A and B are shown apart, each in its own frame.
Chain A
Amino acid sequence: MALHTTPACDARQVSDAAAERFHREVLDRAESALKAVPASEHTLSVAGQTVRLRFAGPHLEELLMPALEHLATRPDGPAALTVALFDSASTGISPPPPPWDPASQGPRGIIEGHNSPRFRTVYQPGADVLLLYNADERSGVYWTPDYRRVPYWETSFPLRSLFQWWIEDQPMQLAHAAAVGLPKGGVLIAGPRGSGKSTAALACLASDLFYAGDDYVLTGTSPLWAYCLYNTAKLTRDVEAWFPQLAETISNRDRPSSEKALLFLTRSAPQKLIAGFPIRALLVPRITGQRETRVVSCGAGEALRSLAPTTLFQLPGAGQTALDKLASLVRGAPVYRLELGRDLPGIPRAILDLLRSGEGA
């Protein structure tokens, strides 16, 4: 019996064919780049799964690996995700020109006609990074024209879109949130840029609490879990002055004024890093200007408003499935407003009180 296909299906297949052809061509170029210059391979353990990163030359490796180096593991067994990374300036190899019209590049860098459940194609606005993901083969490509153009913020959460696509069909979700806690349980601090989540997370370094991220964390939705994906912390100039003990280990001390200070906790405070913990509560940070930090109840809607838009808007391709997973975090854990006070030691004290109380622990 002949298969009946709908026009929508046909359109998707045409799109997939174009995307597949382009992905193959770029992957061929990546393989050429890996042969053109000395290559290196890193094996990571991400939420218990093996991820393999293959770098063509040392430059992207030097830029992107520090944020991930705490995940390094032995190169045993097959990889659940493999990514080839190269730039043109240092390898002399470029991908073919984009086969799409410039107008096809939409919000969040999504290339119209080159994205489907099987193939993801994004050209990150502002970073000049091409990201490709093949869901069938669980493989990706990271390319940029010139490693010297990679912005500092890209080095603080490298490959975040590739990780997001890879876990899309798994009970996991990237969250724009900080995470601090104890081995038996911790909190997600969810909020957009400037909400105080980095300050709160860094304030916890001087306490019994461990650090699992200040910007993006990987979450498990069944059971609720926070994984430390990036060992980085970013501080504005104002906030930097509150943490003088960290000044020595700022990686971009000669940065322009527009850049935040970037820290790698593997170098600044390795003893405070934790691989992950069960999520016991979700906190919505608010800067109050008061002296004391308080934890007060808040509604699920407020918590999701703090967590979901900022996460989804920065992850190309994330949609209803990602929102459902973020909502499961909100539904699965008690939610509170974290009213941040000026007294920094009071922040971890309030979180520890919550975790040790019957409500949060």
Chain B
Amino acid sequence: MALGDEGGFVGEQGDGLGARYRGPDPGVVSQEFEDETIVIRLDTGMYYSFNPAAAAVWRLACAGHALADVIHACRGSAAAVNGNIADVWGRLVRAELIRPALPGADVPAEAPALTLKSPPRMTEYADMQELFALDPVHDVDESGWPSTQPLPATPVK
């Protein structure tokens, strides 16, 4: 099975299919609708849209199921649909929407069979990142406070 693709998310050590993950840190918030799930990273300004199939894959990954488990659970789906699972999985890893499981973490029971109706699709949005471009660390003035704004020429009244 072809894993990853652009950028090879896992598999460099040959353990990509079996690697387990957990949910993102608390700086990631999400909201699920019937036809779309929105995931927002509050620390980077990135946000993401999942179709229901990608949301299902994300949920299973967060619950500790390995990629191999998820592909197995989705074996009843059409081949064209299943082919996208590894791609989305890699993008979840790169976007840090799933993190490596902690050592000794419980292995979840077998993932329930899942029939995906369409290929998993994950869209990334970077249009808000400019809001995070401001460098929060600046020179400090004599009072010890950072200073980012130039002082106007007008005297203090």
Residues of A within 8 A of B (CB): 59, 88-90, 94-95, 97-98, 102-103, 105-109, 123, 125-128, 130, 145-146, 148-151, 192, 299-302, 304-305, 308-310, 312-314, 318-320, 323-324, 327, 330
- B26 pairs with A304, CB closer than 8 A: no
- B136 pairs with A312, CB closer than 8 A: no
- B33 pairs with A300, CB closer than 8 A: yes
Provide the B114-157 mask, 1 if CB < 8 A to any CB of A, else 0.
Answer: 00000000000101100110111110110111111111101011
From known contacts A59-B157, A148-B152, A149-B150, infer whether A125 and B135 are also in contact, taking CB-CB under 8 Å. Answer: yes
Give the residues in chain A near B144, CB-CB below 8 Å. Answer: 97-98
| Residue among B26, B42, B148, B151 facing the most chain A CB atoms (10 A cut-off) | B42
Give the residues in chain B near A59, CB-CB below 8 Å. Answer: 157
Q: How many interface residues does B have (CB within 8 Å)?
A: 43
The answer, yes or no, to whether B38 is at the interface (CB within 8 Å) is: yes
- B150 pairs with A309, CB closer than 8 A: no
Give the residues in chain A near B143, CB-CB below 8 Å. Answer: 88, 94, 97, 145
Give the residues in chain A near B132, CB-CB below 8 Å. Answer: 107-108, 313
- A109 pairs with B31, CB closer than 8 A: no
The residue in chain A whose Cβ has the minimal distance to the Cβ of B38 is: A304
- B137 pairs with A102, CB closer than 8 A: yes
Provide the bound-state CA to CA distance between A151 and B128, in Å: 21
Q: Chain B nearest CB: distance from A103 CB in Å?
A: 7
Provide the bound-state CA to CA distance between A102 and B125, in Å: 29
Q: Chain B nearest CB: distance from A130 CB in Å?
A: 8
B43's partner among A106, A128, A314 (CB-CB below 8 A) is: A106
Provide the bound-state CA to CA distance between A301 and B49, in Å: 8
B145's partner among A98, A107, A318, A320 (CB-CB below 8 A) is: A98
- B29 pairs with A90, CB closer than 8 A: no
Q: Chain A nearest CB: distance from B132 CB in Å?
A: 5
The answer, yes or no, to whether B58 is at the interface (CB within 8 Å) is: no
